Amino acid sequence: MKIEWIPDYPLDDECIQAMEKAADQCLISEGIPFPCSITVRLCDDENIRRINALHRNINLSTDVLSFPSVAYPAGKTASACQHLLQKEYDDETSACFLGDIVISVPHCLAQANEFGHSKVRESAYLLVHGICHLMGYDHIKEVERLAMRKMEENILSSVSLERNMEDPATQTIQPDEELIAAAREAMKMSYSPYSRYPVGAAIRTEEGRIFTGCNIENASFGLTNCAERTAVFKAVSEGFHRFTAIAIAALHPSWPCGACRQVLNEFAPGITVWTTAEGYPVRMKKLTELLPESFGPKDLQ
Ligand code: THU
């Protein structure tokens, strides 16, 4: 992969080298037999926010943006559209231009810290994520998201940058994909005209049933019910009191609020909590980590 770097913000050579290796692997994994090129701008949060506002009408900073040169037909990725890529051939670089990527370096470093990854893994991950978009991958529909995640992890493990499985934040147990998908669906039902912060939740009973919930706001703000409590109350009102896991879907990965932690603790102090947001890795914690030294039914026995 030929990369034209636009280094508006500095990043270590070690990261750049890993990114270049991962970029080459993207073409190999996708099965593209000819050279391709991209531009990669490394900038700060303020600049990525400006670019996001200008081109996508979203006035927020983010980790990575990608602008593909090819409009792939629905459901198709680069390997199936090589004729479209070849139209982007550029004599100057002797390669087919896939598009532009913008990465916020401060955002990348903060995420590496938050997820317990090295900055090398996080910067390579963001570039691979951007290149996957330039190759036609997307994460709007659940099936597409899973295909994109699988592709990203295959590429990163081929260059020995797989997730650090020792890290609890990146979990060693398999995510409950069915529960996570149900939380994402439930998020669509959110009634949140005041905060404009939709949240969905899905809770799994010991019997294996799933109950979903969304946040339901009220003009009298204090009466708002969170997604997690909606899901718990729906399940309890149907006679289910024992739970193994809950998944939460929101605009960014967030853990249940204090009130919801206490309500979950009432029924399932050992529950597993998954959190998910589009464009972020799924994360898991136990309620015992989120609400240590809890007060609950055990104290009243
Ligand atoms: N919210 C939830 O649904 N779950 C949480 O754990 C935190 C917050 C909702 C409540 C409100 O509708 C919106 O998010 C903003 O606080």
Whether residue 291 sits in one domain with residue 197 = yes
What is the DSSP pairing of strand 200-205 with strand 36-43?
unpaired
Whether residue 129 sits in one domain with residue 17 = yes
Residue/partner pairs of 219-224 with CB below 8 Å, 24 or more apart: 219/194, 221/194, 224/194
Domain at 229, CATH number: 3.40.140.10
Residues in the chain, overall count: 301
Angle at Cα 42 formed by Cα 40 and Cα 48, nearest 5°?
105
Question: Buried b / exposed e across 15-34, counting CB within 10 Å, b at 16+?
Answer: bbebbbbbbbbbbebbebee
Whether residue 158 sits in one domain with residue 37 = yes
Whether residue 156 sits in one domain with residue 120 = yes
What is the number of the ligand 1 atom nearest to the C-alpha of 192? 12
Of 104, 102, 82, 103, the closest CA to residue 36 belongs to 82
What domain range includes position 141? 2-170
**The domain boundary residue, chosen from 137, 170, 203:** 170
Contact 42, 7 (CB under 8 A): yes
Candidate of 214, 224, 233 to mutate for ligand 1, largest count of ligand atoms within 8 Å of Cβ: 224
H-state helical runs in 116-197: 119-134, 142-158, 177-187
Tens digit of each residue's pLDDT (9 = 90 or more) over 46-88? 999 999 999 999 988 999 999 999 999 999 999 999 999 999 9
More confident residue, 59 or 188: 188
Assess if residue 264 is contained within a domain. Answer: yes
Tens digit of each residue's pLDDT (9 = 90 or more) over 86-140? 999 999 999 999 999 999 999 999 988 877 778 999 999 999 999 999 999 998 8
End-to-end Cα spacing for the chain: 65
Candidate of 195, 230, 285 to mutate for ligand 1, largest count of ligand atoms within 8 Å of Cβ: 195
Whether residue 193 sits in one domain with residue 160 = no
Assess if residue 301 is contained within a domain. Answer: no
CB atoms within 10 A of CB 284: 21
Whether residue 33 sits in one domain with residue 92 = yes
136 lines ligand 1 (CB under 6 A): no
Nearest CA, atom 9, ligand 1: 226
Percent of the chain residues past pLDDT 90, beyond the cut = 81
Confidence band (pLDDT; 50, 70, 90) for 233? very high
pLDDT at 167: 45
pLDDT at 301: 81
With 0-12 CB in 10 A as exposed, 13-18 as middle and 19+ as buried, what is 47? middle
The domain total for the chain is: 2
228 is catalytic: yes
Whether residue 165 sits in one domain with residue 31 = yes
Read off the pLDDT of each residue in 31-50 and give the average, rounded to a whole number.
Answer: 97
Tens digit of each residue's pLDDT (9 = 90 or more) over 189-228? 999 999 999 999 999 999 999 999 999 999 999 999 999 9
Q: What is the whole-number distance in angstroms between the Cα of residue 113 and the centre of ligand 1?
A: 25
pLDDT at 117: 79
Q: Which two tokens stand for residue 276?
A: 């998910």
